Structure 1
Amino acid sequence: MTPARLLVPLSFSLLAACAQAPKQIVSLDDQQDCPLILKTGQTLMLMLPSNPTTGYRWLMQNPAPSILGSLGPEVFNASKDVGLVGEGGQSVWRYRAANPGSGHLMMVYQQPWAPEVAPERTFDCVITVN
């Protein structure tokens, strides 16, 4: 068999393998993408709009500790309009799908010194790890 004839079946095999492998990093920036199903070992990157200059912060209510492991603290990414005072951006958290099971990842957007005031926004996502 010529090398060219081997190349076609090999190419299809590689494409099929790539299509079956789950994405290693799953991005989530909208509650409409929930419920979410992850494979053990995948990384979840949660990105939510934020503006710390207003005093509001995303506060963790339930980090789904039985299924997700934190990969570090919150990181704030400013908007692309650098230099604008008070401009918002995104808060980013990274988690690893550690254990099979289901849980809720829940956060509220409020001023930490006023817990009696209803949150401005809530993020609540059911996550299942297989």
Structure 2
Amino acid sequence: MKILAACLTALLGVSVVGCSSMSPTVDGKTHVYSLKQQCPTLLEMNVGQTLELSLPENPTTGYIWQVAQPQHILKVEEIYQQDQVKSSQPMVGAGGEKIFRFIALQPGEEWIHVKHSRAWEQNPVDEWRCRVRVS
């Protein structure tokens, strides 16, 4: 019985450590997420680190991803990459991917909130949020 209790305690300890650790990074500085990945409850970052968020987008439909509120401690870069189609020329109406890069500039805490909507509509069709603390 004591062995079972010790094993359960060790397992619980490992799972708690996993919850508090930072997200996987590509290069030790960049936290990478997509629409299907939820941000942890609180993402801890250091000044100089980057959060990169990749989202499917087709701006020809009128639906675009945009940052919902201004950022104060994070610099935002937006890049759109059209999907590669069989021809080497870009095609009108082809979808792609919007990439947001949020670069931590100074210590503090902030919410990242991006929404997918058309400019003239009030309610977004999709959203992604992440609470970030920069040290």
TM bracket (short chain): 0.5 to 0.7
How many angstroms does 1:115 deviate by?
3.1
| Shift in alpha-carbon separation, 1:46–1:63, aligned structure 2, 3 A | farther
Equivalents in 2 of 1:91, 1:99: separation in Å?
25
TM-score, normalised to structure 1, is: 0.67
Equivalents in 2 of 1:94, 1:59: separation in Å?
12
How many angstroms does 1:82 deviate by?
4.7
Counterpart in 1 of 2:98? 91
Equivalents in 1 of 2:94, 2:101: separation in Å?
23
Task: Name the SS for the 1:53 alignment partner.
Answer: helix
Match of residue 32, structure 2, among 9, 27, 30 = 27
1:123 and 2:116 correspond = no
Contact 1:63–1:106 at 8 Å: present in 2 too? no
Identical positions, percent: 31
| Shift in alpha-carbon separation, 1:46–1:108, aligned structure 2, 3 A | same
| Shift in alpha-carbon separation, 1:37–1:63, aligned structure 2, 3 A | farther
Counterpart in 1 of 2:84? 80
In structure 1, the gaps of 5 or more residues are: 1-21
The CA RMSD over aligned residues, in Å, is: 2.1
In structure 2, the gaps of 5 or more residues are: 1-26
Task: Name the SS for the 1:99 alignment partner.
Answer: coil
TM-score, normalised to structure 2, is: 0.65
Equivalents in 2 of 1:28, 1:39: separation in Å?
17
Q: How many residues are aligned here?
A: 104
